[in-house]
Amino acid sequence: SKNWILMATARAPTNIAVIKYWGKRDEALILPINDSISVTLDPDHLSATTTVAVSPSFEKDRMWLNGKEVSLSGGRYQNCLRELRNRAGEYTDENKGIHIEKYDWNTLHVHIASYNNFPTAAGLASSAAGFACLVFSLAKLMNVKEDLSQLSTIARQGSGSACRSLYGGFVKWTMGNEMSGSDSIAVQLANETHWDDLVIIVAVVSSRQKETSSTSGMRESVETSSLIQHRAKVVVPSRILQMEQAIRNKDFSSFARLTCADSNQFHAVCLDTSPPILYMNDTSHRIISIVERWNRHEGTPTVAYTFDAGPNAVIVAPNQKVAMDLLQRLLFYFPPARDNELSSYVLGDKKILH
């Protein structure tokens, strides 16, 4: 019968890198030139929810993003779908009279519906949550029997940073050595309960779409920046070790110092690119000054900031009290009524998962 449908739903949050991934050594497989470390956010904020379905009545693979149909013809979607179909398992439900053989997945089509619980155009990383969720939900639907690290190699081929969103807590993406990318995987450093008093504030500086995509930005940096080589070979390997130790020991001042330094070096690499890439704007720079002044006043880093490929600030505080104090300070400098250069704040702690 062609009258059955099978569905699966999953939710995945986005993640914020504290040691940044910037630069690929293989663009098709999405293999990075350095390791990176991130914090996965609470799924109540900035997450994707994806429902996937399969039915013999579906005539082609289709996808909807926030209710609007989008094309699946891009190489990244195609790579993820191919990798998942290669690993799909058989499935039987005798009550419903459904039997799917492994090879049936090559001819069966899927429908994918994904929603972000935040405005898609907000310029906040959505591809990390989106691809992690797409891969995880399809793996469930297709009865793929692989662990999360194996699934992370598939999510990585959708968007590099997506591989880190399969785990909660603190996650390292190891660059790996293999040409095939088989060892370029995400591993969990500590789960979401390990350091759960951390609070993350996302200060939405601009909801405009970023001007230089991370893909072309990375390519231009790898081709023209000399700083990026020093960063990937010398600076990041040592920072990765220090960051792992800071996370293990819940040493906030080391964590904050490394996080800010790494964000600043990533943006220095962007400025060292020809033509230069400017992701931060005046408001971003003002936020850096406010946080730096605050930390200097306290004598030790009490909050950390980090910026991705856009002007929005991600601020990490060691606990709710410090987060509220900082938020009050930010609202003093950026009163919502007077100007709207800082449009909103998203509060979350790093808990998660599926």
Applying CB under 6 A, the span of 93-101, 113-121, 153-161, 289-297 interacting with ligand PMV comes to 153-161
Asked whether position 306 contacts ligand PMV by CB under 6 A, the answer is no
Paired with 54 in beta bridges are 6, 110
Asked whether position 81 contacts ligand PMV by CB under 6 A, the answer is no
One of 17, 31, 113, 228 touching ligand PMV (CB under 6 A): 17
Asked whether position 308 contacts ligand PMV by CB under 6 A, the answer is yes
**Euclidean distance between CA atoms 165 and 340, whole angstroms:** 31
Residues of span 25-54 touching ligand PMV by CB under 6 A: 36
**Euclidean distance between CA atoms 113 and 219, whole angstroms:** 31
Applying CB under 6 A, the span of 17-25, 82-90, 116-124, 244-252 interacting with ligand PMV comes to 17-25
Residues whose CB is less than 8 angstroms from the CB of residue 57 and which lie 6 or more positions away in sequence, other chains included: 2, 3, 5
Asked whether position 309 contacts ligand PMV by CB under 6 A, the answer is yes
Q: Are strands 109-116 and 62-65 parallel, antiparallel or unpaired?
A: parallel
Paired with 348 in beta bridges are 200
**Euclidean distance between CA atoms 191 and 28, whole angstroms:** 31
Peptide bond into 275 cis (omega under 30): yes
Give the helix ranges, DSSP H, for 111-211: 127-141, 148-156
CB of 127 to ligand PMV, least distance (A): 5
CB of 215 to ligand PMV, least distance (A): 6
One of 23, 130, 160, 176 touching ligand PMV (CB under 6 A): 160
Cα separation values, 152 from 7, 52, 179, 214, 345, Å: 22, 18, 16, 19, 30
Asked whether position 153 contacts ligand PMV by CB under 6 A, the answer is no
Asked whether position 161 contacts ligand PMV by CB under 6 A, the answer is yes
Applying CB under 6 A, the span of 20-28, 82-90, 137-145, 293-301 interacting with ligand PMV comes to 20-28
Q: H/E element holding 3?
A: none
Residues of span 272-291 touching ligand PMV by CB under 6 A: none
**Euclidean distance between CA atoms 331 and 343, whole angstroms:** 11
CB of 173 to ligand PMV, least distance (A): 8
One of 12, 14, 21, 205 touching ligand PMV (CB under 6 A): 21
Residues that bind ligand PMV in the complex, under the rule CB under 6 A: 17, 20-22, 36, 125, 127, 159-161, 214-215, 308-309
